[in-house]
Amino acid sequence: MAETVNPHISVIIPVYNEYEGIPVLLQSLGDFFGEHSHLNAEVIFVNDGSRDQSLDRLLTGEHRNYHARVINLARNSGSHAALRAGILNAKGDYICFNYADLQDPLELVLRMKEGMDAGHDIVWAYRENAKMSFLAKQFSRMYARLMKKYVFSNFPEKGFDILMFNRKVANELNKNIEPNSSVFLQIMGMGFKQMSFSYEKRARAYGESKWTYAKKIKLFIDSFVAFSYAPIRFVTIIGIAMFLLGIILSLYIVARKLFFQDLIVGWTATVCILLIGFGITNISLGIIAEYLWRTLDASRKRPVFIVDEIYELENKTEPISK
């Protein structure tokens, strides 16, 4: 196919160990953009340090009806870092995310573009139904409710993975590539004109989800530490509460000793107080340490991701940059 000049839509797809599903992905992309050629699309596949042969399958696969680019990261940096790498290299007027498992229908590109054409800077789609285990669903609900209460009041209760934004938003993101952060919350917090709509999320047709509980917990911590003062305020409130409780308990003990002299000397109450006190202290120190670690991480200015090679795939598969 001829080289695409100034693509209108850039679709960024992070890829991590998706060898099995890549043929279906490429077929679906080719069919969709063949049917909607007016989108003048480029698709940026970001290989996030896959340990299987995903990169080879991307390079040798058939890319039809869109300009294809593969960014190969030197190591696994996480999906948010992969998305940031894609944004940095995207050339489209509008930029959106999608995923290799195709749980999020490609038709969302059309719906989001309608919102962008109506004058919005950001359009995000939140999922109505998501096939997940009971524990995963409860974790997702808790995360969304806490985010809605303490971070962004417009955070959707069922969460979101898909959004589209314009070059103005992309330029702001590229100015500040944050480590240990959420690219979604960074975009949501910019304050530009935005809208949202809901959609039905599909079941995963192949492979297994790479979204482990460890990654969910990291996102949970990153989201609050990076975008809210609630954790550090929590430490302050707990400290004040413990101080007041200590004062009240001390006055009670003195009063009992002076007027009733009926307190029995023992170790049970002391042990309980010490366990509770040290537990709260350690939680508080852990929260403070999270802030200190992120301050250190930001001050070192280490790259959030390292690009190994970039491949242009319309006519060749040789790397064009290193």
Q: Give me the tens of pLDDT residue by residue for the chain, a chain 322 residues long.
A: 444 456 799 999 999 999 999 999 999 999 999 999 999 999 999 999 999 999 999 999 999 999 999 999 999 988 899 999 999 999 999 999 999 988 899 999 999 999 999 999 999 898 776 566 667 667 677 777 777 777 777 777 666 778 999 999 999 999 988 887 888 888 988 889 999 898 888 876 665 665 566 666 766 676 666 666 677 767 777 777 777 777 777 677 777 767 776 666 555 567 567 666 776 777 777 777 777 777 776 777 778 889 999 999 864 444 555 4
In a domain, 223, yes or no: no
For the CA atoms of 142, 144, 146, 152, the dihedral, rounded to the nearest 10 degrees, stands at 180
Q: What is the CATH number of the domain that holds 62?
A: 3.90.550.10
Q: Is residue 282 part of a domain?
A: no
**91 in a domain, yes or no?**
yes
d(C-alpha 282, C-alpha 289), whole Å: 10
In a domain, 274, yes or no: no
pLDDT of residue 53: 92
Please spell the DSSP secondary structure of 119-175, one letter per residue: T-SEEEEEEEE----HHHHHHHHHHHHHHHHHT-TT--TT-EEEEEEEHHHHHHHHH
Is residue 133 in some structural domain? yes
Q: How many domains does the chain have?
A: 1
Residue 240 lies in a domain: no
28 occurs within a structural domain = yes
Read off φ and ψ for residue 60, nearest 5 degrees.
-100, -5
- Pair type for strands 307-312 and 319-321: antiparallel
Would residue 222 count as lying in a domain? Answer: no
pLDDT of residue 315: 42
pLDDT of residue 166: 95
Structural tokens at position 131: 């096939």
What's residue 158's pLDDT?
67
Closest CA to 308 of 49, 23, 94, 97: 49
Chain centroid offset of residue 91 CA: 22
Domain that holds residue 192: 9-147+157-210+304-321
Q: What residues form DSSP beta bridges with 45?
A: 13, 70
